[in-house]
Chains A and B, each alone.
Chain A
Amino acid sequence: DQQVKQNSPSLSVQEGRISILNCDYTNSMFDYFLWYKKYPAEGPTFLISISSIKDKNEDGRFTVFLNKSAKHLSLHIVPSQPGDSAVYFCAASDRTYKYIFGTGTRLKVLA
């Protein structure tokens, strides 16, 4: 039973355009969400997070949106750059240290 789902295994976007990565969750107790980025042969690195008391958090080119009623979050990257090509994981937590991760979305930004 996947509590956190990333239904798109891959996404290709032209450089300069917007990348939108989606994540759905089922557990209404989740109150904190993170996005990690992972390059090949490296561990995931923290990208951006959002608390359930917010519906948007922005950091430079990265914005995360949270829709609690739909149990959906999305990561927007604007403008997309070739260096953004990586696997992106979303993760959710319910007031504990325990994060449930999605299966990841591989983003390819085409030059």
Chain B
Amino acid sequence: DARVTQTPRDKVTEMGQEVTMRCQPILGHNTVFWYRQTMMQGLELLAYFRNRAPLDDSGMPKDRFSAEMPDATLATLKIQPSEPRDSAVYFCASGTYPDSRWTQYFGPGTRLLVL
């Protein structure tokens, strides 16, 4: 049963600290998405990778957020420095191109609370 995994599942940190979230896409999937869920905005796309190359990060606050794929089995999302308004659930999703237009498989999410 192939699944997207995300770590940590929960993170509580203080304002100004660095936060790193990790995602392991489903083996064989070549597209990775980072989303953020907030009550007001629903699910927002932060960044999109295809074959490990970043194709779109227009949804991300550039001054503090960064997303990378060091290898095909790991995607990271970093926030430095973190702020209380970053508190949200962050989801990673993976798929195959071009099928990921129709089907994306989501991980369980990382719940971030910045105090």
Which residues on the A side are within 8 Å of B55 (C-beta)? 97
Contacts of B109 in A (CB 8 A): 41-43
- A80-108: CB near B (< 8 Å → 1, else 0) gives 00000000010101001111011110000
Interface residues on B, range: 20 to 34
Map CB proximity to A onto B91-115 as digits: 1 under 8 Å, 0 otherwise.
1010001001111111111000000
Known contacts A43-B107, A44-B106, A103 near B39 by CB under 8 Å: yes
Of the residues A44, A102, A103, contact of B91 by C-beta under 8 Å: A44
Complex CA gap A6/B108 in Å reads 23
Cβ of B24 under 8 Å from chain A: no
User: Please, how many angstroms separate the alpha-carbon atoms of A102 and B37 in the complex?
Assistant: 10
* Chain A: interface residue total (CB-CB under 8 A): 23
Chain B, range 1-38, C-beta contacts under 8 Å to A: 4, 31, 33, 35
B45 CB-CB contact with A under 8 Å = yes
The answer to whether A97 touches B106, judged by C-beta atoms less than 8 angstroms apart, is: no
- In the complex, the answer to whether A103 meets B41 with C-beta atoms within 8 Å is yes
Cα of A101 to Cα of B33 in the assembled complex, Å: 14
Question: Inside 8 A of B103's CB, which chain A residues have their CB?
Answer: 46
- Of A32, A42, A45, A101, which contacts B42 at CB under 8 A? A101
